[in-house]
Amino acid sequence: MAEIRVLLIDDEEELVSTLVERLGIRNIEAEYVMTGAEGIELLGKKEFDAVLLDYKLPGMSGLEVMKQINELYPRVKVLLITGAGSVDEGGDEVPEEKASDVLLKPIDIEVLIAKLREAVGDR
């Protein structure tokens, strides 16, 4: 059985598909979707321990998606990912108390795994 089950929500398909492959090599079960709506739908169908969520998503923003996940699936840990500066770009503050962690792109896979273990271990 996989150590952690993680759902990646990001519209950069090449990025998330490669991350899914690399996480799989490390025995972390990962899947990806490209919109917040798809992510919330999938969380209703499958069990995940954590969500890696892009701050800037088309349509429903990362913050809106995080709010819905926190309400509907409070067990699931949310880690936000963002490009440097894009938090300011959107004019919003990332409410860190609602996210287990905030990671900056480009993502170091070992740092990501450490953060995932830390977040999931916190439950």
Partner 1 sequence: MNMPADGKQIDFREHGLTFFGTITASVTHELNNVMGIIEQTAGLLDDLCVGVDYGRPIEIEKLREISGRVVMQVDRGVDIIKRLNFFAHSVDESVREFELNALLKNLVSLAQRFATLKKISLEGRFNDFEHTVKTNPFILEQVVFICIQLAITPTEKDSRVILTSQQESTGSVILITGPPVPENDETKSKMELLRALMGLIKGDIELTAEDDRIYFKLTVPNISNEE
Applying CB under 8 A, the residues found at the interface with partner 1 are 11-12, 14-15, 18-19, 21-22, 25, 56-59, 83-86, 89, 105-107, 109
d(CA 1, CA 27): 8
First-to-last alpha carbon distance for the chain, in angstroms, is 19
Our CB check for partner 1 shows the closer of 47 and 89 to be: 89
Q: How far is the CB of 92 from partner 1 (least distance, A)?
A: 13
Q: How far is the CB of 108 from partner 1 (least distance, A)?
A: 9
Q: How far is the CB of 58 from partner 1 (least distance, A)?
A: 5
Our CB check for partner 1 shows the closer of 74 and 106 to be: 106
**Cα–Cα distance list, 70 to 15, 96, 101 (Å):** 25, 13, 14
Our CB check for partner 1 shows the closer of 47 and 108 to be: 108
d(CA 101, CA 8): 14
d(CA 4, CA 68): 21
